[in-house]
Amino acid sequence: MSFNPSLCRNESEVESKLIVQYLLPTLGYDASKWHQEVALGSIRLDFLALTSQIFPSATDSTPKVCVVMEAKHPKQNLDSHVRRLSRYLTRLRVVYGVLTNGKDFRIYELVGDQVKLNFQCQGIEIDDKIEKIKDIIGRDKLAEFKNNKPIDLANLVNLPQKPAPLISELIVSPSISLQLSDTNISNPKSMKTIAIYHNKGGVGKTTTTINLAAAISRKGLKVLIIDLDSQANTTYAAGLMKFETEEEDTLKDSNIYNVVFYPKSNYIPEIALKSTFTYPPVDVIPAHINLIWQEARLVDKDSSKTHLVKKLELVKDDYDVVLIDTPPSLNLYAKIALIACDYLIIPSDLKPFANEGLRNVKNFIEEIDEFRTFINKPAIKVLGVLPSKILTNANYIKATLPKQEKVVEERYGFPVLETRIFQREDLSRAIDNFVFEGDRQIPDPKSIFDFKPDSISAAEFEELANEVLEKVGLSA
């Protein structure tokens, strides 16, 4: 048995051809000793390889001598995923973790509270170095350290929302995924409304909104996009601005302004349009340049701040996820978005001005939360700062990016999402896509999944969707 990395063209093939068909059997893990798509609370693992059928409780602080294996798309840089694997190992107290995209193969080890690189080789070297790999994570090698004790399998199935305190260990069957509840996850049946906001422009809000919506829609969930920015970039990127003259403008009399201005008409089903930028399609409530001067009318009508909240409540059974793109300001439209949302994602290129702007964002959230208390809405849950439009330079990713992320957490108190969205030409080309109709050049923007589904950017947004859905309690 041997491995050929050239046969791995996507993440699924890395999983099947490298991990399932080659690595696990070669390392001595038969079908009863490894598990795929394992869920442990809010953590979801690609693979978990055990020395027996027993896995201790995720809350047990004793180091667990087993192997977490994470597969990535062959075009993805593994450096972008080390932080997530490290979180898995440290939170679960698992000793070894494998991270691979088929071309690059790494073994990380939990040493105390630190995760360190133990072994690394190229995919074409795996055959030659398999004995070295066996000596680190082979089943026979790890069995020497086995110290697990089983309990009844029945304790695994249909666990209560809060695991009983006496459950300290689990014995697993190959056909059953481990499931431990995460009490921080909200009701999975309710619609989740997520605002995409930063008060600095040019940080990737539109790109994030459009491609995150497409990624979520592809998972079978019903998505609504709301554009609350007068620049209407998201409306354009959703393929809704195909007119060339003011006379052809179909949006000026039917857009988000109508929703937030009128309390007893212009409901969401009347204003929402089907998108053309992705499949499956998502609904979009468009914005318009007229929002700039129309804001004054809304300011004079104080109740307009809550009209969107009330109208979203009427469609809570029609959508799984609502994404609200916001203006890069502290204006009324930004307030309306943050009053209406449940969760917040803050895209940022992590450059000095964007980071300094986080202080304004923090203060703005505090102001909005005071108003939300007045209308009996809980405080906004900040999912995190999303590193976006990040440079792909390897030295920058290794040396500078972690420092910038640390500044966000330590100086401004915001968590940083584990997914990173890098600045790539494919993303801009997708939005700038066009078609010709006779001698007319017609905008035909696409999501990255519809423009270049096998691209690294598509894989990054797939990761983002997985992380976001996990955090809001909608992961499969």
The tens digit of pLDDT for each residue in 228-265 reads 999 999 999 998 887 666 766 778 888 999 999 988 89
Query: What is the helix (H) or strand (E) element at residue 471, kind and residue range?
Result: helix 456-472
In degrees and rounded to multiples of 5, residue 375 shows phi and psi of -105, 20
Across 120-129, 187-196, 452-461, least confident range? 187-196
Instruction: Output the pLDDT for position 302.
Output: 73
**Which amino acid, 210?**
I
pLDDT band at 41 (very low <50, low <70, confident <90, very high): low
**Residue 134 clears pLDDT 80, i.e. is over it:** yes
3-class DSSP state of 250: coil
**Residue 441 clears pLDDT 80, i.e. is over it:** no
Contact between 373 and 332 (Cβ < 8 Å) = no
Strands 94-100 and 64-71: parallel
Across 143-152, 173-182, 366-375, 446-455, least confident range? 173-182
**Residue 169 clears pLDDT 60, i.e. is over it:** no
Instruction: Output the pLDDT for position 298.
Output: 84
pTM over 0.85: no
**Residue 166 clears pLDDT 60, i.e. is over it:** no
Contact between 348 and 203 (Cβ < 8 Å) = yes
Q: Structural domains in the chain?
A: 5-171 (3.90.1570.30), 192-472 (3.40.50.300)
Instruction: Output the pLDDT for position 59.
Output: 53
**Residue 149 clears pLDDT 60, i.e. is over it:** no
Tell me the pLDDT of the chain averaged across its residues: 85
pLDDT band at 436 (very low <50, low <70, confident <90, very high): confident
**Residue 174 clears pLDDT 60, i.e. is over it:** no
Give 248 or 131, the one with higher predicted confidence. Answer: 131
Instruction: Output the pLDDT for position 161.
Output: 31
With a CB cutoff of 8 Å and minimum separation 6, the contacts of 414 are 346, 358, 361, 362, 382, 384, 385, 408
**Which amino acid, 189?**
K
**Residue 62 clears pLDDT 80, i.e. is over it:** no
Spacing of C-alpha 97 from chain mean position: 21
Give 153 or 294, the one with higher predicted confidence. Answer: 294
Q: Which two tokens stand for residue 325?
A: 């793109």
Instruction: Output the pLDDT for position 54.
Output: 60
Instruction: Output the pLDDT for position 143.
Output: 85
**Residue 352 clears pLDDT 90, i.e. is over it:** no
Across 44-58, 139-153, 332-346, 350-364, least confident range? 139-153
* CA terminus-to-terminus distance, the chain: 34
3-class DSSP state of 451: helix
pLDDT band at 158 (very low <50, low <70, confident <90, very high): very low
Mean pLDDT to the nearest integer, 148-160: 33
Q: What is the DSSP string of 406-420?
A: HHHHHHH---B-S--
